[in-house]
Amino acid sequence: MDKPIPKVPNWRVLMNLPTIFKNPLIFHSALYDDLGDSFIVNSLNGEDLILTRSSNMIQHVLQKNHKNYQKSKFQTVDLAKYIGHGLLTTNGEHWLIHRRMIQPGFGRKKLQGLLSIIRDTVTYEVERFDTGKTVDVLPMMSDLAFQTVAKGLFSAGDIRQRMASLQEITNTAQKMLIKEVRQPYLRWWFRLSGSLERHINMGDEAREILNELVSERKSSGREEDDLLDMLLAARYEDGQPMSNRQLLDEVMILFTAGHETTANALSFTMFHIAKDKVIQQRIFDEVSHFDFGDDNLPNVFKDLTYTRQCIEEAMRLYPPAYLVDRVAINDDEVDGHKIPAGTMILLSLFELHRDDQFWKDSSSFNPDRFHTDRKSERIGRYFPFGAGPRMCVGNHFAMFEMIIAIAKIVKSYKLRCDLEHIELVPMVSLKPKEVPITFELR
Ligand code: HEM
């Protein structure tokens, strides 16, 4: 039996265009309140899409019947034209072949070689924090995360200057992408005014910078234990390496997928740490005796558990990947709802993570929810890194980086924040508008 999914009338979408452009989460939240866990909305492109926060539907799409769902043109066309066709932005065979080649480079064991590089990069950034005045930590965390991926990829050499232009280019291109996706009715203008072309050309500029770095590595004949070496060493079944173009696309994608998500999660975590002295003290008690020496670094995950819980709780309230998109390949059915082939589904991780059915006092920041003894409580309800075969390939890298960053920050400084509420800015990832924090040296 078909249980129809409620549809949002088009007038309601039209009346809310300014809100949708500024912050679609507010509009979505009102619709979930009125219509339940799933609804259909017209994208104003003439296309109906399903938005869902249903735990069952999300697990069905990402895990149980993942073979029937692929990424939508938001990623494979709109995003890919800026950052290229790599792991994040492709589907089917192309994706699978490259996932098999790249994933081993991110395994826990392989990551061991990167831990000290990540620690050194984070330490360098943290030691330069300004003390005694209030600063917005989002750009600071953005630099920290960008430099960490950069060093993870290109471990040797002074790349700071070249990375600064790359960072600028990827940020500007993202703003253009958001305009395209949220204002599809203005696409003709973006094209006509030359704005679109200008931004696409920026992608080529970025690739040029990366190409230089890759060529330098190839001609040096040096071997490093970093992500670039992993990409250079990866082979297709016939023994051939990736083409230079494919390699540059994969590098661009690691930058894009890996830096902003991490920066946002760190900024949100710092907001709550700075607001709550008890939480801050608990982290300090945990990290103050931790040995950050090379040999002890792998113990970060098992020894800094409360620090990890704080980051996990921040990603519950503010999942950087707040919406995940998929398209049904064949007709399907979930919970009695028919899903025709070609339907786009937006999985609302933000809403799932705040669903009162699953999370007691869902809007409060409570890291104790993530105590290892309470693991079973979050099964099927918590997906900050996605789930199923397309789950984030960089999740261990990101968790290690974030735990080290928070540990180093709290060990060195006392944090204070006078901001009452954090304003959310949902771009390609979910960002805070600003997080003003005062640091005082301990
Ligand atoms: C807090 C930090 C991060 C969060 C919250 C995050 C979240 C996610 C999510 C939800 C997905 C799945 C998207 C989907 O199913 O459509 C994903 C995919 C991906 N992430 Fe991350 N990510 C983070 C950090 C990183 C880092 C540090 C890297 C690399 C250095 C990275 C590289 C990737 C790549 C390449 C994919 C595509 C995987 C595939 O489709 O096979 N991410 N990430």
Distance of CA 68 to the CA centre of its chain: 24
Give the ligand 1 atom nearest the CA of 391.
12
**pLDDT for res 271:** 98
Nearest CA to ligand 1 atom 3: 261
Q: Could you identify the atom of ligand 1 that is nearest to the CA of residue 145?
A: 27
pLDDT of residue 219: 86
Q: Is the CB of 84 under 6 A from ligand 1?
A: no
Give the pLDDT score at 112.
Answer: 85
Fold of 10-441: Cytochrome p450 (1.10.630)
pLDDT at 13: 86
Decide: helix, strand or coil at residue 435: coil
Nearest C-alpha neighbor of 386 from the set 356, 352, 363: 352
Please report, as a single letter, which amino acid is at residue 365: F
CA distance 5 to 427: 27
Rounded Cα gap, residues 332 and 222, in angstroms: 51
- What does the domain layout of the chain look like in residue ranges? 10-441
Alpha-carbon span 435 to 189, nearest angstrom: 34
Amino acid at 388: G
What atom in ligand 1 is closest to the CA of residue 349? 10
pLDDT of residue 85: 93
Find out whether the beta carbon of 258 lies less than 6 Å from any atom of ligand 1: yes
Query: What b/e readout covers 355-370, taking b as 16+ CB neighbours within 10 angstroms?
Result: beeebeeeeebbbebb
CA of 386 to the centre of ligand 1 (A): 8
* pLDDT at residue 156, as a whole number: 67
Note the pLDDT of residue 1: 66
Distance from C-alpha of 85 to C-alpha of 253, rounded to nearest angstrom: 8
Please work out whether the CB of residue 324 comes within 6 Å of at least one atom of ligand 1: yes
Check if 397 has its Cβ closer than 6 Å to any atom of ligand 1: yes
pLDDT at 374: 86
* Model pTM score: 0.94
**Mean pLDDT, the chain cut into blocks of 10 residues (442 residues total):** 87 85 89 95 83 97 98 90 91 96 87 90 93 94 92 78 78 80 80 83 85 87 85 91 93 89 97 98 97 94 96 98 97 94 97 95 96 89 97 96 97 96 91 96 94
Alpha carbon nearest to ligand 1 atom 11, residue: 392
Structure tokens at 183: 């204002």
Tell me the two tokens of residue 370: 């993530």
Return d(Cα 64, Cα 231) in angstroms, integer: 30
Who contacts 159 (Cβ-Cβ below 8 Å, separation ≥6)?
Answer: 150, 151, 213
